[in-house]
Structure 1
Amino acid sequence: MIGLVILGVIVFIVVFVIVIYNRLVVLRNRVENAWAQIDVQLKKRYDLIPNLVETVKAYASHEKEVFEKIAMYRAQMVGAKTPGEAAQANEGLTSVLKTLFAIAENYPELKANQNFMMLQEELSGIESKIAYARQFYNDVVMMYNQSLQVFPNSIIANLFGFKPKEYFEVESPEERRAVKVSF
């Protein structure tokens, strides 16, 4: 009888560990999938930017510094290995793109250019998708990290080497400020 009780307890513990382990694996995979979704949107933006730059260059070729910064941040985006590195490159690229659009304001014929307007609209749509994907990623990271920290999950997570994931965060105070829109 005692042997059956001990066997029952062992089976219960094994099943309990398996359930927690599988839950952690599912959450870790969701985090990786959410990061892949951000990566897809960043790649779309990455591919769109050269067309935008070429269109602006035709009208404002003397703005060499802005074009060089765009190239630099695009390279950083490609080389980013962590969400933190990607977020930092993303912030820089977003800032330079704002400068590019400010330059476009000085060229009425550029603002009227159909190709420029289409590229600007497409970029705006991609930026919205990036913002949504970033929010989703951070939500999934929060669920995963919480799951690693609660008892008894923390014991299983440490036992099997699960590590917390990094958030995709805005770091610059400029990005945190409200955007002023005027017509």
Structure 2
Amino acid sequence: MGVVIWIIIGVAVLVISYVVVIYNRLVRLRALVRESWSGITVQLRRRADLVPNLVSAVKGYASHERELLENVTAHRGDAISAKSVGATAQADAALSGMLGRLIAVAEAYPDLKADANFRQLQDELSEVEEELARARRYYNATVRDLNTQVQSFPDVVVAQPLGFKVEEPYADADTAIQTAPKVDFG
């Protein structure tokens, strides 16, 4: 009888230890997701801080592009103030599109393209966009790792009761990139 009790106690200790290991792994993965989301918001803030300077530089040369300049200024903080990953991605894509049009407008003005301040701002924006792309990839990798653990057996048995859930990846809202372009040589 004493041996049976020790076997039961040993199995219980093993099960508890395994649950603790799973829990700690899930906590670490959730922390990585939160940290990586913070990296995205830092880059979005950096970009939002560049927008007024970029708009000011363009405004001096292309004041008749008033609607575009106002839209860029009005939407510069939308991604930062969004409340969900999906809303952030949508606002980010919208601002990226507007900034692309703003740069395209700037290309039509040789004096503006030659302006050292504008070139510096354009370089900074390019750097921020690269950092933002890296932050998005890192976030999606950490979300993938957490989601895999949360949905895998035996972790799912521990994850759901302890409040771990599947996180939303950062996805581009542009559905056009998800289909192959049609090429017609005729």
Query: How high is the TM-score relative to the length of structure 2?
Result: 0.91
The answer on whether the counterparts of 1:41 and 1:126 sit within 8 Å (CA) in structure 2 is: yes
Residue 37 of structure 1 corresponds to 39
Q: How much identity, in percent, do the aligned residues show?
A: 44
SS class of match (2:76): helix
Deviation by residue 1:6-38 (Cα, 9 ceiling, x = unmatched):
110111111110000000000000000001011
Which residue, out of 77, 80, 83, partners 2:82?
80
Runs of 4+ aligned residues of structure 1 deviating over 6 Å after TM superposition are none
Work out whether residues 34 and 137 of structure 1, in 8 Å CA contact, stay in contact via their aligned partners in 2: yes
Q: Please state whether the residue corresponding to 2:77 is helix, strand or coil.
A: helix
In structure 1, the partner of 2:12 is 10
Q: Does residue 166 in structure 1 map to residue 168 in structure 2?
A: yes
Instruction: Give the conservation status (yes or no) of the 8 Å contact 2:143–2:169.
Output: yes
Gaps of 5+ in 1: 179-183
> How far apart are 1:72 and its partner, in Å?
3.0
Match of 1:150 among 152, 164, 172: 152
Question: Structure 1 residue 174: deviation in Å?
Answer: 5.2
- The Cα shift of 1:117 comes to 0.3
- How far, CA to CA, are the matches of 2:85 and 2:113 in structure 1? 34
1:104 paired with 2:100, answer no
In 2: Cα distance, 1:101 partner to 1:143 partner: 37
What amino acid is aligned across from residue 43 of structure 1 in structure 2?
A: R
Tell me by how many angstroms 1:71 deviates: 2.4
Could you report, residue by residue, the CA deviation over 1:87-146 in whole angstroms, capped at 9, with x for unpaired residues? 101100010011101111111100100000000011001101111110111011000000
**Are the aligned partners of 1:91 and 1:175 in contact in 2 as well (CA < 8 Å)?**
no
How much does 1:84 deviate? 1.0
- Report which structure shows greater RCO (CA 8 Å, sep ≥6): 1
RMSD of equivalent CA atoms:
1.5
Aligned to 1:68: 70
Residues 55 and 73 of structure 2 are in contact (CA less than 8 Å); yes or no, is this contact kept in structure 1? no
Q: Are the counterparts in 1 of residues 48 and 77 from structure 2 also a CA contact under 8 Å?
A: no
Question: In the superposition, relative to structure 1, how do residues 42 and 176 fare at CA in structure 2: closer, same or farther (>3 Å)?
Answer: farther
Counterpart contact for 1:73–1:90, Cα < 8 Å: no
Indicate how the Cα distance of structure 1 residues 39 and 146 shifts in structure 2: closer, same or farther if over 3 A, else same: same
Match of 1:58 among 57, 60, 64: 60
Secondary structure at the aligned position of 1:159 is classed as: coil
Please name the residue that 2:29 is paired with.
27
